[in-house]
Amino acid sequence: MSIDRHRPLSIGISLLITAVLVVLSARSFQVQHRDEVLYPSDGLTRAFPLSEVNPHLAGTAGDTEVYVYEGSAPGGSVLVLGGTHPSEIAGYMAPVLMIETLHVEAGRVFIIPRANASAATHNEPQEAHPQHIVIETAGGSRSFRFGARFTNPVHQWPDPEVYVQPISGTTLAGVEIRNLNRAFPGIADGNLTERVAWAITELIRRESIDVSFDIHESSPEYPVINAIVASEVSQEIASFATISLQLDGWEFSLEPSPPNFHGLSHREWTDHTDTQPILLETANPAMGRLRGPTNAELAVLGQDDQYVKAAAIGAINVPFDEEGISIERRIARDLVAIGAIVEAFNMLNPERAILMGGWPEPAALMEDGLGRYLAPARDGTSPR
Ligand SMILES: [Zn+2]
């Protein structure tokens, strides 16, 4: 009988705990669907939604902002794509830093920091990734979402058993149908990921963009790492840039874009546009299989004892010591590579030179930290 008397109380407590969990998880779910506010530098000349290029994106979770910086002098044009895979956090933060510091004197620079905006709204299941990273700025802390590799299934579902790429006919695992970097050149009215891919490819064509960057990260044990990936049409600028970077003491390898690996940005932009495509890849221990505890600190500081041990026995492809590979170091690598490749383009195409800058020197970025160069947080703009 005494058990019965306590039952209403225990049911009440269970319901209360459930209600609290529902409220907390609903809030954290909602926050992930809200884009962080970015503060473009005064070099920004216009911004427009990608749905202007592909109206089939209007009102969908795939629509995303395109930031444009135009110099007063004519010149060539560059596209910088971040967040193709929003779990590759430096691949998102390098374009964000550009947006907040960039000035262009000649030519035009297009930046899409959240290329797969839907993939930024959730986490990879079972990876224990943080929901966001926090960067301290002069105006307080700013948080940036640590998203997923794939389009959110809330926005594109269900996956097929096998994904047959519509143009090449290549077969891949079903989940790859939500991978933006398998969806190029895209289909204007296809599934959400294909619509985004088509809009980006079409933007390159419509604006006759000369050089297009797609910024990624990967695990330290991945074979193509600290790399500049170039196709046959971008090989020349990439070779010049790699040599000049190596002379400056940066370790970069030059990798060819495989001709039969369809759906990838560099492959399909080569085949379907006139741009010179480049993929950049830095090493992020938060993405690796050998990593220790996974949290926002690992994604930002890039320090991990497991990788120090792995490097000591030659199990990974990048140098790795106690200092780790900080987000500043990874962003600095992306920015010096972009700078060197644009410089090589200018040397070969002086009549279309693109003159741009404004972002911090690598040494200063690594010394002072990212928060010193991002715009200060302003009230109520950094949901936590
Ligand atoms: Zn990637």
pLDDT of residue 225: 82
Q: pLDDT tens, 267-284?
A: 999 999 999 999 999 999
Are the CB atoms for 376 and 137 separated by under 8 Å?
yes
Are the CB atoms for 94 and 334 separated by under 8 Å?
yes
pLDDT of residue 205: 98
Q: What's the 378 CA to ligand 1 centre distance in angstroms?
A: 31
Q: What's the 331 CA to ligand 1 centre distance in angstroms?
A: 15
Q: pLDDT tens, 215-253?
A: 999 999 988 888 999 999 999 999 999 999 999 999 999
pLDDT of residue 2: 55
Backbone φ and ψ for 25, nearest 5 degrees, come out as -70, -35
Mean pLDDT over 45-51 rounds to: 98
Whether the predicted pLDDT of 70 surpasses 50: yes
Are the CB atoms for 218 and 224 separated by under 8 Å?
yes
Q: pLDDT tens, 194-209?
A: 999 999 999 999 999 9
pLDDT of residue 381: 47
Q: What's the 20 CA to ligand 1 centre distance in angstroms?
A: 36
pLDDT of residue 28: 82
Share of the chain above pLDDT 70, in %: 97
Q: What's the 85 CA to ligand 1 centre distance in angstroms?
A: 5
For the domain made up of 33-372, the CATH class stated in words is alpha beta
Whether the predicted pLDDT of 383 surpasses 80: no
Distance CA 61, CA 32 (A): 12
pLDDT of residue 384: 36
**Band of pLDDT at residue 327, cut at 50, 70 and 90:** very high
pLDDT of residue 380: 47
Mean pLDDT over 252-256 rounds to: 94
**Band of pLDDT at residue 3, cut at 50, 70 and 90:** low
Are the CB atoms for 42 and 327 separated by under 8 Å?
no
- The residue among 303, 361, 292 whose CA lies nearest residue 327 is 303
Q: What's the 87 CA to ligand 1 centre distance in angstroms?
A: 8
Q: Which amino acid is at 333?
A: R
Q: What's the 267 CA to ligand 1 centre distance in angstroms?
A: 14
Distance CA 47, CA 50 (A): 10
Whether the predicted pLDDT of 372 surpasses 90: yes
Q: What's the 108 CA to ligand 1 centre distance in angstroms?
A: 25
**Band of pLDDT at residue 369, cut at 50, 70 and 90:** very high
Q: What's the 83 CA to ligand 1 centre distance in angstroms?
A: 8
| Summary mean pLDDT of the chain | 94
Whether the predicted pLDDT of 135 surpasses 70: yes
Whether the predicted pLDDT of 153 surpasses 80: yes
Q: What's the 18 CA to ligand 1 centre distance in angstroms?
A: 37
pLDDT of residue 9: 86
Q: What's the 86 CA to ligand 1 centre distance in angstroms?
A: 8
Any idea where the domains of the chain sit in the sequence? 33-372
Collapsing DSSP states into helix, strand and coil, what is residue 300?
Answer: helix
- 126/238: higher pLDDT: 238
Collapsing DSSP states into helix, strand and coil, what is residue 263?
Answer: coil
Cβ-in-10-Å burial (0-12, 13-18, 19+) of 188 comes to: middle
Mean pLDDT over 103-123 rounds to: 98
Q: pLDDT tens, 172-192?
A: 999 999 999 999 999 999 999
